[in-house]
Structure 1
């Protein structure tokens, strides 16, 4: 014999009840001997409880009652008069008294299972299948604890064996789940998800070959698929693993379901009513693999904390707590203890939290007077995440991932076996925490969510580069890189599932108004997005003020915007403090050398203790092209500059390049990488624009370019033979003294055969002099400008972050 159990959703009107009846018919047609256990149909249990509450409060419940009866009947030719009459009398009595007991509640809720079993029995009979309605209240006997009764094993076993002997094996028993009765014949219920427990007891008593639990999902998942989209079906679990999952909140299993099966090694198979060809999850004595199995969740819980310095080292504290709780029938699911200040945290059912607090306060009343106990308090709005199969020794990875995502567990503990870790988190963080942990511990691609600020030339190029590389990154790195938001100063395009290739059109048509960072933060919070990276591709001096807020809200930073690193030194330090406190990273390799590995190289040398004595180079690809061409060719400076403008090598107003501020910022960034405390005002900059051309519009300036020719021709002719002009940034002086650096930006003449003199095209070049290398500098040279190069450098920073902090 097989015991087959169907859950509430499997029995709901429509596809649910149709599929359930089809599955039963197919099993009978195949010659299988089955006993069927049913739950209440659809949301019947919740609906009955809601009506009961309204009746107790004196509220009108008639409309809800009519809806309930209509749903249960729904055109089915089944006589429910008796059950409906029972419920009507119970509701009327509760409305009259204004209250109800657990005993009355059990009587009300029991009718949901009775209605379900009568319906299935009648429909099967109408289809020629011999079915027998079996009221489990006549079979399973329990103690008198209404709401969560415990079966009397010997008596229940005898009743069930006698009952099934009376009927031959050609009869399909349709048994009510969840309900039972005490020895006085009063209706009791078996607690949350008790129908599973009913099915497990029947399987044990009848020596069933298998228990099949049909539900609305394909089996037990690595996490709740409603909360974690990447959750996967676990094909096989051992009894012990399944029992842990049940104890820690897996909603498919009752915490007591596994116990009756272990005794006789009866397999349990979790199957999908709506996808019955799926093999589901098999629970048996043997597991399919070692390691972490699943994340389960306990909700509707609260944390009760007891604190007191005076209890440190005293024996018997735990015993007193559990005695006080035991006297009030309060069960503790998790306990965690502190050591520096004696503190004990207990996770209990939310409905028992206040009773637990009062019980503990009474037990330690004398200790309050001696100040050994300082307070007992309740923390609500928490949930418990249990990682079944997680060893505490390897818990550092998911824990660090939580901290990086701004989720700090309220407490955590592990089981005696050391194979399971449980975390208490704020309920508002539950969804995000599950996704973070799941992505970290299972061999599933990790999501990295990008928010791009600025979609100009570099921004557009980067977005398209990311979209083009997504599939390759997923295959090679197992990282699901997606752009979830694109913003400019006015509009925001957001899609939690990832923005596609039509993003430019979409931002025009679907973009929402973007006036405050709060708009974005609320969306990120609503969709529980994890592993966030903010990418600043603006040139805004005001947007950098949002950096600290982004960091504090869980974002890592990647930026091509130089202003944040060249703002006041106090802002520079405040940002680093925020990054450290939030354990976030800030990468900005493109701030100085576009796609060249300059900052990483300098940082590595500096942090390894190498004394860098000087950094010198051509920092601007634009000015590199300008003076390389001017030095090599017999043309006026204005003609070379006009050509650079026409080719898009300069800013629309070329004075932004010629003033030298961009090179000055880059030089300051390198100085600060060496822990120097310079401000931008400390940089001595040779402005290449004559005084009389610094004002006016860009158009006016472009009309007067020839006025530059005489001055630059004089400079060019004044050089020594074999020399060329280069616009150079030079960081020198005593770089071991935080105030000893000299920062110069100027046009210089260098030998044509020198490394600076040999640079070609729009390349940048950097000479790094160190104490170890002496007069032979480390030279880094390559493309120093261009949207594609800069975007590729930003992309590199994004991937470094993804692999370093997330991968």
Structure 2
């Protein structure tokens, strides 16, 4: 024989109640002997309480009561609830007249959620030809008369239950028992507390020596975390009673510690099943040990409050704890985790949110004289907190999870180890709960680490980057366990969001469903509202304005990747302020593409400089665009304007080629390298040879493009004046005393031997020569593709992947 218990959400109107009936009919068809225990359907208990409150406050409760009645009749409109509805209506009228109600009335009214559910399920089974028998649990479960949280009179209840079921043939009859509800010896309706229906079902299973208790919920078992909080939580197939009890005591939302006790006594298995997926085996809980190392799971208790008692007189004073707990016990306030610190001279503890003021008042009364003597300064309440418990994880092995929390700007209010030393409990702000649980779950269980990326600037480089990410996403997930999730894309006009990740249709989605882009606040808010962790902001724009957002993004929990050079070439004050913000917020800023596109230049220089290598000079062809321009101009008998047009047609130049020809881009790159060597140069220190004649520097792009031929005689003359076997190269050169505060930064057009390292550069390649004391006259040479959207995007992608391997 089995006991089947169905929760309120399982019994809700629609698919829920239909699934329940289907499960029961299949059990009966299979000739299984069953006893059914039901909770109130849907939100019936809360609805009844709300009706009481409306009546008490003199508000319109009649229309809400009509809605309640219609909801109860929806699955089977012919069931006769006239007596129940009439009784409830009289109660509400009385409460409305008196303007108040007692705990006894509350128990009586809220019990009708289960009573109506029992009648509904019984009627539906009878409609399908089943001999169902409605069983009012008030006839079985006897309690004291402490309304709201009655204590069961177990001997009488067991005797009543055994006697009742002795007269029922379970081969032909299906009893449908109301959970949660009991009665005092005087016959007054009582309730047996939160999760009372689970407790009722466990007691019946124990009294009847059932083979198994099947508890039907809306999840397919017990998970490593609440699936509503963590989408990739894993189902736990088996738990021992001890493990289940520990989970229940630490706040698991499916298990109830009190309901496990009767099953342990009789060694009756408990199986947690999903009403909507009845074919799933769920989670089996029995006496068998499941793991030598203990389980690993995360449980959550929400809507808690942190109460703190503070005062300098507490230091070394004997008996404070005893007085505190005695005061709380008098008010029936249950205490969760406790933290005591001599340095703060205080005690903090966690209570249910609804008990917070009761706890504060109790302590205020108990320590009244201590306030007068200034031994205690303050009793405070921090509301809106949650307790997160990590089972099977000690403080010594919790370091990676804690680091991940801090790096995601989540700071626990309190951390504590349990008595066994195998569990860690944290108090977290409710607003950070979902993100915190997801971050820790990923660290503890080694499940795919989700990296949430916002891309600013979706032009050629940005669009190519997104294409590369989407194409590589599955492979990266499989190989590295990294889930790259681009949740936002923004251009200067619109931003498009998708918390689950943008798709290949993102361009159309941005155009059609994107919202006006008014700054980063919307992106920050979206990430916060959707509890997104491991955040990276990618700047593929060329906007000075975008760099103003770097520090606010860092302070909002974002790491940075940028191909935008402006952030690193603004004033030294901004440069240092940005680095300070990164350090204070434990964030990373990667920008390898700022100088060498996809070449590993900045990393190489950083490593050499950090290792104490004295770099004496850096020079080279910094611009892929200008490399292409002068390589071709030097090698071919062509006009300068022809090569420039060719470069523009192939996408090597900016829409206005003057942005390349003015040398500022190379100047910025050179300045970035100088600052990597801790030089204090400003952009104004860079001596730049502007390749545009002064009379062509102003005016619009079209006007300039129409006058390109005016450049031909200028550069032909320069070309003709070279020494034999020399070629033109536009280079950046950082030299001087690089151990001092400032270096010499020059950007210039030079003529070099054709067979030199600079002279042998081909196509749009860049080349960098790094001279050091150790290498002497033989520089370290880094050469390769220095331009193109694919190369730059791949470099940005590389920075993103490097960030994923760091402790975000």
Aligned pairs (5 A) from 1:387-786? 387-737=390-740, 739-786=741-788
Equivalent residue, structure 2, for 1:17: 17
Q: CA deviation at 1:302?
A: 1.3
Contact 1:325 1:359 in 2 (8 A): yes
Q: Deviations over 1:496-543 (max 9, x none)?
A: 222211222222222211123223333223322222211111111111
Quote the offset at 1:287 in angstroms. 5.2
Q: Deviations over 1:184-226 (max 9, x none)?
A: 3332212112100111112222222111001222222233223
Whole-angstrom CA distance in 2 between matches of 1:233 and 1:455: 39
Q: Give runs of aligned pairs for residues 197-236 of structure 1, distance below 5 A.
A: 197-236=199-238
CA gap 1:211/1:496 in 2 versus in 1, 3 angstroms:
same
**Counterparts of 2:319 and 2:413, CA distance in 1:** 25
Is the aligned partner of 1:348 residue 2:351? yes
| Residues in 2 aligned to 1:326 and 1:554: alpha-carbon distance in whole angstroms | 42
Find out whether 1:384 has 2:387 as its counterpart.
Answer: yes
Q: What is the distance in 2 between the residues matched to 1:119 and 1:249?
A: 31
- For 1:696 and 1:71, how far apart are their aligned partners in 2? 73
Instruction: Tell me, yes or no, if the aligned pair for 1:235 and 1:288 is still in contact at 8 Å.
Output: no
Q: Contact 1:192 / 1:254 at 8 angstroms: preserved in 2? A: no
Offset of residue 623 of structure 1: 1.5
In structure 2, what is the equivalent of residue 98 of structure 1? 99
In the aligned structure 2, how far is the partner of 1:536 from the partner of 1:230?
29
8 A Cα contact 2:681 2:742, kept in partner: no
1:428, distance to aligned residue in structure 2 (A): 1.9
1:38 partnered with 2:41: no
Residues 115 and 668 of structure 1: is their aligned pair in 2 closer, same or farther, counting only changes over 3 Å?
A: same
Unaligned 5+ residue runs, structure 2? none
Partner Cα separation in structure 2 for residue 598 and residue 782 of structure 1: 11
Q: TM-score, normalised on structure 1?
A: 0.95
* Unaligned residue ranges in structure 1 (runs of 5+): none
CA distance in structure 2 between the partners assigned to 1:132 and 1:506 by the alignment: 56
- SS of residue matched to 2:734: strand
3-state SS, counterpart of residue 524 of structure 1: helix
Q: Once structures 1 and 2 are overlaid, which stretch shifts more, 654-663 or 690-699?
A: 690-699
Farther off after superposition, 191-200 or 310-319: 310-319
Describe how 1:295-334 pairs up with structure 2 within 5 A.
295-334=298-337
Q: 2:241 aligns with which of 214, 233, 239?
A: 239
Q: CA deviation at 1:644?
A: 2.5
Q: Identify the residue that residue 797 of structure 2 maps to in structure 1.
A: 795
Which of residues 184, 196, 199 in structure 1 aligns to 2:198?
196
Distance 1:538 1:96, change over 3 A: same
CA separation in 2, counterparts of 1:128 and 1:331?
Answer: 48
Other structure's SS at 1:731 match: strand
SS at the partner of 2:451?
Answer: strand
After the TM superposition, which of the residue ranges 305-314 and 780-789 deviates more from structure 2? 305-314
Indicate if the aligned counterparts of 2:403 and 2:807 stay in contact, CA closer than 8 A: no
The change in CA–CA distance for 1:369 and 1:675 in structure 2 (over 3 A counts) is farther
**Residues 292 and 387 in structure 1, CA contact (< 8 A), matched pair in contact too:** no
- Within-5 A mapping of 1:165-204: 165-170=166-171, 171-204=173-206
**Equivalence for 1:86:** 87
Provide the residue aligned with 2:121 in structure 1. 120
Corresponding residue SS for 1:9: coil
- What SS does the corresponding residue of 1:297 show, helix, strand or coil? strand
In the alignment, structure 1 residue 28 sits paired with structure 2 residue 19: no
Secondary structure of 1:244's partner?
helix
1:195 and 1:707, CA in 2 relative to 1: closer, same or farther beyond 3 A?
same
Report if aligned partners of 2:680, 2:742 keep a CA contact under 8 Å in 1.
Answer: no
SS at match of 1:333: coil
